[in-house]
Amino acid sequence: ATRDADCLLLGAASDDPEGITALRSLRDAGVETPVVILAASADRQSLARAVDAGAQDLLLKGQFDDRLLMRSIDYAIDRRLVEAELARQALHDGLTGLPNRALFMDRLGRALTELEFPGETHAVVLLDIDRFRVINDSLGPDLGDRLLLMISERISATLTDADFAARVG
């Protein structure tokens, strides 16, 4: 259920006034939902520890109103969305949206370690567009980008669930 939530409000317990133990348990369980901690008391070090543990914000019980709570929740959600988009951009080509070299190497490494049967046959196909620089130089980068998009769309359309394409160049 927590994976479908936009944000979690975590009330800190008396034996865990900053909510850090509970927050770390959530993160260890793989819950990536943004968390705002409602703490009984806190100082700057407590806030820093909560943020280091993965909280987006820490509010003191009895010292906030509805407006501040909503702003904190909105900020937590927006921050998580931005982080997710930055993570996606770090692993995908900006033009085609295909996985980039880093994600390709990660997926290839995983595929090689997950081979089910010794001697099983797999293939890695590398395509190169000859004289692509000539296309960009003579017809312009916009047309070169359109060509790359068309090629990536056609290749992606032929893939099965077990296949993937990447742009590594």
What is the per-residue pLDDT across 54-104, written as a single tens digit (0 to 9) for each? Answer: 888 888 888 888 999 999 999 999 988 998 899 999 999 999 999 999 999
Nearest Cα to 19, choosing from 79, 64, 47? 47
- What's the CA gap between 27 and 77, in Å, rounded? 16
Q: How confident is the model at residue 1 (pLDDT cuts 50, 70, 90)?
A: very low
Average pLDDT across the chain, whole number: 87
Q: How confident is the model at residue 3 (pLDDT cuts 50, 70, 90)?
A: low
Token pair, residue 41, equals: 């008391």
Kindly report whether the global pTM for this prediction surpasses the value 0.75. Answer: no
**Would you say 22 and 50 are in contact if contact means Cβ atoms under 8 Å apart?**
no
Give the pLDDT score at 162.
Answer: 82
Kindly state the percentage of the chain with pLDDT values over 90.
Answer: 40
Token pair, residue 5, equals: 């939530």
Q: How confident is the model at residue 5 (pLDDT cuts 50, 70, 90)?
A: confident
